[in-house]
Structure 1
Amino acid sequence: MLIKRSANAQWIGSGKAGKGTLTSPSGVLNETQYSFNTRFEDGIGTNPEELVGAAHAGCFSMQLAFNLQGAGFTADIIDTTSEVVLENGTITTINLTTSVKAEGLDQAKFEELVNHAKENCPISKLFNATITLQATLL
């Protein structure tokens, strides 16, 4: 199956003083503001690392849900945070933290399924960075 998705970034001005907007065909991003301030300081708007984090947390959670389903479990909840670390102009680390509640799931199977999701969700496969995982079975 081939799936293509897109988004548009428009930037006006210099790197530090300029500003931009992000738009996606779904409308989730609709001229969403981003700038030097939103990326490197505190400002109103988003930044690429935040968007990567959201994409990674969502992708990992969905992959884990499919892994659980394949193993005969259904999650009551999967709650995942992805912390993206930008250091000296490079994304060096992504720290995934997830909590999962699924009836009947034991710790050994849980660890197998979350590690598979970490290694195999499509967003994880994009990165040339260390990806850590801290997982809690509720």
Structure 2
Amino acid sequence: MANNTGQATWEGGLKEGKGTIKSQSGTLDGRFSFGSRFEEDVTGTNPEELIAAAHAGCYSMFLSALLEGDGTPATSVNTTAKISMGKDDTGPFISRIDLTCDATVPGLSDDKLQELAQKAKEGCPISRALASVPEITLKATLKG
């Protein structure tokens, strides 16, 4: 299996500082700040946004693999992951992830989609890595 790396640098204090974040492939090379992370400032990215994108991508691929293995390959699987933050006595944490998936799969019943969608939610590597998140929801819709 492949090994992947990411790299981040933070300069300065928490609220006035700034950071850069990069992926091994070079596809991601962005900046982030306290504002982009906690104040919904859209001028940069943040770790939670990257986790959401990774989760959506991993889930879509895993569901596609399950559908193909079932003999009903998908035309498309489009997933959005929305991360909600909470705060407890130790600090901020990811309190919830809502996965919303639209799948176009010719010849598949909704019952079968729901079964495989749930299996993908439980089995994709990013879902497994995020097992400590208190709540991960799923809404899967069969399109076309």
TM above 0.5, yes or no, is yes
Unaligned runs of 5+ in 2: none
Three-state SS of the structure 2 residue aligned to 1:27 is: coil
Identity of aligned residues (%): 46
Q: CA deviation at 1:24?
A: 1.4
Q: Which residue of 1 aligns with 2:33?
A: 35
Deviation at 1:40, TM superposition (A): 1.2
Pick one of 115, 135, 138 that aligns with 2:140.
Answer: 135
Q: Measure how far apart 1:71 and its partner are.
A: 0.1
1:122 and 1:43 map into 2 onto residues whose CA distance is 28
SS at match of 1:118: helix
- C-alpha distance in 1 between matches for 2:66 and 2:120: 7
For residues 76-135 of structure 1, give each alpha carbon's deviation from its aligned partner in whole angstroms, at most 9, with x where no partner exists.
111100001111101011000000111000011111110000000000011111110011
Query: Residue by residue, what CA displacement relative to the aligned partner does 1:11-64 show, whole Å, maximum 9, x if unpaired?
Result: 00001110000011211112x100001111214110011000000000000000
2 CA distance for matches of 1:54 and 1:66? 18
Task: Specify the alignment match of 2:126 in structure 1.
Answer: 123
Count how many residue pairs are aligned between Structure 1 and Structure 2.
Answer: 136
Q: CA deviation at 1:3?
A: 2.2
Instruction: For structure 1, list consecutive stretches of 5 or more residues without a partner in the other structure.
Output: none
Q: How does 1:3-42 map to 2 (within 5 A)?
A: 3-30=2-29, 32-41=30-39, 42=41
* Amino acid corresponding to residue 124 of structure 1 in structure 2: S
SS at match of 1:59: helix
Q: Distance in 2 between matches of 1:82 and 1:33?
A: 21
TM-score normalised according to structure 1 size: 0.96
Q: Name whichever of 56-65 and 42-51 sits farther off.
A: 42-51
CA–CA separation in structure 1 for the residues paired with 2:71 and 2:141:
19
Question: Taking structure 2 as the reference length, what is the TM-score of the superposition?
Answer: 0.92
Q: In the alignment, does 2:112 pair up with 1:109?
A: yes
Provide the rounded CA distance (Å) in 2 between the counterparts of 1:53 and 1:12: 24
Aligned residue in 1 for 2:82: 83
What is the alpha-carbon distance in structure 1 between the residues aligned to residue 116 and residue 69 of structure 2? 10
SS in 2 for 1:91: strand
